[in-house]
Chain A
Amino acid sequence: MSGVRVLVGTRKGAFILNSDEARTDWDVSGPHFPGMEIFHLKASPLDPNRIYASQASDWFGQIMHRSDDGGQTWQTVGNEFAYDGVPGTHQWYDGTPHPWDFKRVWHLEPSPHDLDTVYAGVEDAALFKSTDGGQTWRELSGLRTHTTGNSWQPGAGGLCLHTIILHPTDPDRIVVAISAAGAFRSDDGGETWLPINRGLRSDYIPDEDAEVGHCVHNITMHPSRPDTLFMQKHWDVMRSDDAGGKWHEVSGNLPSDFGFPIGVHAHEPETIYVVPITSDSHHFPPDGKLRVYRSRAGGNDWEALTNGLPQENCYVNVLRDAMSVDRLPSCGVYFGTTGGQVYASADSGDNWTAIVHDFPAVMSVEAQTLS
């Protein structure tokens, strides 16, 4: 019998939510790593029981965990993320040079091509790769040492590499996004990188054609159309149909085009989801209404999905890694809030229920489809 496992990272531990195909009754396990900030958990697409977790704290630094039994037991794996060579500087908020300094792992992306290969996106921005199941990590330093690297500046959350998109069939194609440097693509397995930010416009960058400096919040891709990328930028929802060669805006009739996560339906590559947030100075939904917006046209034409979501006095946020979909025949959509709710829809977003109401602030949500 098939089912769903939802991996939830929160400010105070990790939780694992399990349900059968109906997705009406949920078993909640956790907190795993209680009290610790869990930025991200993600499972291997090749073995659903192989799960990686990133735990980070100001006190004891980065700790990495791996489970090989679906999250029932965990072992610590390698936590040494050493920049390649002398890392030099990037720009600080005030424009002065600032030394590159590893802080934490924001995002983990297990490879669809090799079970023991996993990528980690870190702050200060860099991409690391492990080929031994997370025991050791090597920086793919061609990204950080790109000629623009010393001009990258942090966003409000830090200079973080938060998005890693792996091509479903070509192990050499990797797309990453960095706040606030922008999006980059490698076509040689991460050795060399190309900024892919043409068409992005950011009010805080006087140069309209700036190669880098854009605060990309999240990117998603449907595996059947790997050259089509959807982006939630700081402001603006964007789309590219040539693997990031050129972007155009598809914000259309959204009530606000500021937001963090963006997701794509498991079976409909032109159906995408965002959660509009009022603004970068008001990190809560417009009008106190929590609304997911869905476009079935790949953008521009959006509909509000509200059934089961609070439509008054709601002032939570939804962070960039806190939305995911399952691959069951009726696609499930999931997202978590900074208020500690995890919402689920078993019908592509038409109807929502809260699986839990009172978790710590949710930092990441990843849905697994189990057969």
Chain B
Amino acid sequence: MIRVVLPPHLRALAGVGREIQVSVDGTVTQRSVVDAIEAAHPMLRGTIRDHQTKARRPMVRFFVSEQDLSHEPLDAALPDEVARGREPFWILGAIAGGRR
């Protein structure tokens, strides 16, 4: 199982805790992990990436083991630690508040 840490607002929206688990068939990539998240929690569709283009939303970032993978290709294999469930795939909202 793939471990995923969601940001607080998406936890509330999906009604889940800090970390969820999803299963992925085939290569574990950003695309396949988010596919699995959206399949398990349809209310998160459109909140992490664009419905059409599948591009990551601009103020959402992806991290693994303290490394920012946000700008890696969508179909690049994620680190083996994620595929083996040893490390979670982190989805973060940018620190950009305060204006309102």
Contact = CB atoms under 8 A, between A and B. Distances in A.
A59 B59 contact: yes
> Interface size for chain B: under 10, 10 to 19, 20 to 34, or 35 or more residues?
10 to 19
Given A58-B59, A59-B93, A63-B47, A36 B100 contact: no
Interface string A205-239: 00000000000000000000000000000000000
Assign chain A's interface to a size class.
10 to 19
Contacts of B100: 11-12, 37, 361
A76 B9 CA distance: 14
B71 interface: no
B1 interface: no
A80 B60 contact: no
Contacts of B94: 59
Contact of B51 (A12, A36, A59, A82): A82
Q: Count chain B CB atoms within 10 A of each CB in A59, A63, A361 and give the residue with the most.
A: A59
B54 interface: no
A57 B100 CA distance: 11
Given A37-B100, A62-B46, A82-B52, A76 B13 contact: yes
B76 interface: no
Contacts of A62: 46
Contacts of B10: 60
A61 interface: yes
> What is the predominant secondary structure among interface residues of chain B facing chain A?
loop
A254 to B, nearest CB: 30
B84 interface: no
Given A36-B9, A37-B100, A59 B45 contact: no
29 contacts: A12-B100, A34-B12, A36-B9, A37-B100, A59-B7, A59-B9, A59-B57, A59-B59, A59-B60, A59-B96, A60-B10, A60-B13, A60-B48, A60-B60, A60-B93, A61-B47, A62-B46, A63-B13, A63-B47, A76-B13, A76-B43, A79-B46, A79-B47, A79-B51, A80-B45, A80-B51, A82-B51, A82-B52, A361-B100
Given A59-B93, A76-B43, A80-B51, 6 more contacts: A59-B59, A59-B60, A60-B47, A60-B93, A62-B46, A80-B45
Interface of B: 7, 9-10, 12-13, 43, 45-48, 51-52, 57, 59-60, 93-94, 96, 100
Query: When A and B form their complex, which 7 residue pairs have the shortest distance between CB atoms, in order from nearest?
Result: A76-B43, A60-B47, A59-B93, A59-B59, A80-B51, A79-B46, A11-B100
